[in-house]
Structure 1
Amino acid sequence: MNREQDLKNVAANLSHLANTFDSASEFCRKLDINRQQFNKYVAAQHLPAQKVIQKIARHFLIEPAQLLLAPAAFKRAFEERDPGLPFELQGAPELVKMFPAVGSSGEAMRGMLGVYHRYHNSSIYKGMVLRSVTWLYVRDGTARYVTIERFPLLDGSARSGYTFTYHGFCLALGDRLFLIDSESKQRNEVTLSILTQQPRRPIRFLYGIYSAVASSSYRQPFSTRLVLHHVSNTKLTRQHLRQATVLRPDDASIPPEIRNYLCRPGADTVWGGED
């Protein structure tokens, strides 16, 4: 494919992405892209630098090469993309054989599927509450999930500084849910969550604990309280992803039931390696 065609494809595809925002200005502000340069991209005058393409791909959870697709193919791939289906887990027969409970959890979790806000005390921004987004779904009879975390920069701009995506499997055993996943970009972390099922339907909250290793230079193991707040029966959407952020414990957007569970006396985060 020649450069002229690449310019046209990227221009059309960037215009499509920008249309998911209220304005091109908001798109550039949120992604920290120079507006004058953006105008040249959508006018098919310049191709974005590789670091700009990488930034756009990370934000929209797509592959950088997809921006070069023909507009019709890009739109179809973007709108039908399934962020809950990592390529490396499409079959995973070995995992199903290793954990027989995985293969039977799909039906057991039918009443708990959907999109959740996931709240727990942050290991990166200590003293803050991390609100990420988790989508529980069933594929090939197994219960799976994807969790997306977004950490804003601390400069007051509200721009995302870090994004982490975790893919995993759910095991329903008795009245307990076991969620185990791995981080799909850096591939250097596994986390485990244990929650108790609620007898009430529809599900509103799932309470439990979360264990992982802090994404810091010290790599400390830690465990903290966790709450999943059911927000939608639909698939994961970009609108859901915009809710992922870090909050002060007294933020009014945190439901009071969650604030009480996470922040009441005795609900401290436990860190490994401390006296």
Structure 2
Amino acid sequence: MARQSSVQTASRKPDPQSGFISVNLRYLCSFYPSISHVCRKIGVNRQQFNKYLSGQINPSIHVLKRTSDFFGVDIDEIFLPPSELRAIVEGHRAGRRTVSDGDGNSPLEAISALLHPGNDILKKYEGFYFRYNYTFDGSGRVLRSLFSIREKDGVFVTRLLERIRHRSNGSQRLTTLKYDGVMTALSGCLFNIEYERVMKSCIGHAAFSCLQRPGQRFLTGIQSSYSTSSGKPTASRVVLERITRDIPLRQMIVRCGTFDVDDGQIEPDILVLIGNQIASPEKVLTDSA
């Protein structure tokens, strides 16, 4: 009995000569935006990974462990005939679709698919912006932050850099917060979802009107997130001002911070656009444009 158990265990070990690895890896990669995305997540050099995909060489057991963990399969399953691996993966994916739309796509897959249709529209919005809104701490100050939009691997990604006074650092010292996100264009709006990079403690959402007007300087919208000072969900109007001049990045960052409304640092037109008053007969906060 002991010998039979040993033989069975040995037969489960991956066969380094298997010809199915490259086919199976290409199939598993097909569920992700790009090969580069997969390489970054696994922590593998792209040129080296290309050799795995082409079948020139096989990954080491160490790399296979990281790869299988990322794809959510067992190491042994990567060595199976492609038809068997597909049956396993499709079974896993079907089991996760407890909430789905009429086409059988999970909500996460459906949202991911929405990141691509608006690419042609978003190309003209690539670049740097100053972003303005009233701070969420109730101080009545205006936050000017640095915001960027760029295309990466077929998806438009955003980055927000804030320099704010944080009570834990004293009133004069600025704390820098960074947020990464994605943007898509739908129904005449730009939708942005972002998260705080370090603590990953909150997610923010913003929607901007993208109606084009002659001489338009600003994109206006509504944003919502979590206020660390109040511990409550908070929303406000928000404005993006495109940076059209060739300004060094460091100088852009230096201009960011929080400002009193009366110190002349923020243009009156911007103050009007980010005001959070709700005019009668409106009952909800809407875009100010």
Letter in 1 for 2:118: S
Tell me, yes or no, if structure 1 residue 189 matches structure 2 residue 202: yes
- Contact 2:166/2:173 (8 A) holds in 1: yes
Q: Does 1:141 align with 2:154?
A: yes
Instruction: Indicate whether 1:241 and 2:253 are aligned.
Output: yes
Question: Aligned to 1:257, what secondary structure does the other structure show?
Answer: helix
- What is the TM-score with the length of structure 1 in the denominator? 0.56
Identity %, equivalent residues: 27
The alpha-carbon deviation at position 156 of structure 1 amounts to 10
In 2 relative to 1, CA 96–257 (structure 1 residues): closer, same or farther, beyond 3 Å?
farther
Pair 1:236–1:168, CA change in 2 (3 A): farther
Q: 1:105 touches 1:170 (CA, 8 Å); kept in 2?
A: no
Structure 1: runs of 5 or more not aligned = 1-86, 271-275
Q: Which residue of 2 aligns with 1:102?
A: 115
Measure, in 1, the Cα distance between the counterparts of 2:191 and 2:110.
17
Cα offsets for 1:208-261 (capped at 9, x unmatched): 111001022x41111111111111377982221111100112332312221112
The reply on whether 1:257 has 2:266 as its aligned counterpart is no
| Deviations, residues 181-202 of structure 1 (Å, cap 9, x unaligned) | 0000111100000110131366
Q: Which stretch has the larger CA shift, 94-103 or 137-146?
A: 94-103
Q: Distance in 2 between matches of 1:193 and 1:236?
A: 27
Q: 1:199 to 1:255 in 2, by over 3 A?
A: same
Per-residue deviation at 1:157? 8.4
SS of residue in 1 equivalent to 2:118:
helix
1:206-225 aligned within 5 A: 206-216=219-229, 218-225=230-237
1:32-111 alignment runs, 5 A limit: 98-111=111-124
Matches of 2:152 and 2:247 in 1, distance apart? 13
CA separation of 1:180/1:265 partners in 2, compared to 1, >3 Å: closer, same or farther?
closer
Which residue of structure 2 aligns with residue 231 of structure 1?
243
After superposition, what is the alpha-carbon deviation per residue over 1:70-95, rounded to whole angstroms, capped at 9, x for unaligned?
xxxxxxxxxxxxxxxxx76x9xx996
Partner residue, 2:37: none
- The TM-score with structure 2 as length reference comes to 0.54
| 1:18 corresponds to | none
Deviation at 1:265, TM superposition (A): 4.4
Aligned residues: 178
- Counterpart CA distance in 2 for 1:214 and 1:151 is 13
Aligned to 1:252, the other structure's residue is in SS state coil
The 1:121/1:157 distance shift into structure 2, 3 A limit, reads: closer
Question: Rg: which structure is higher?
Answer: 2
Contact (CA 8 Å) 2:236, 2:276: kept in 1 or not?
no
CA RMSD of aligned residues (A): 3.3
> Which structure would you say has the larger RCO, counting Cα contacts within 8 Å and 6 or more residues apart?
1
User: Which amino acid letter does the alignment assign opposite residue 211 of structure 2?
Assistant: Q
Q: Which amino acid aligns with 1:246?
A: T
Which residues of structure 2 form unaligned runs of 5+?
1-39, 44-70, 72-105, 285-289
CA distance in 2, matches of 1:230, 1:223: 22
The question of whether the paired residues in 2 share the 8 Å contact of 1:107 and 1:141 is answered with: no
1:164–1:264 CA distance, 2 compared to 1 (3 A): closer
For 2:243, what is the secondary structure of its paired residue? strand
> SS of 1:126's equivalent?
coil
Q: Which residue number in structure 2 is paired with residue 115 of structure 1?
A: 128
1:129 corresponding residue in structure 2: 142
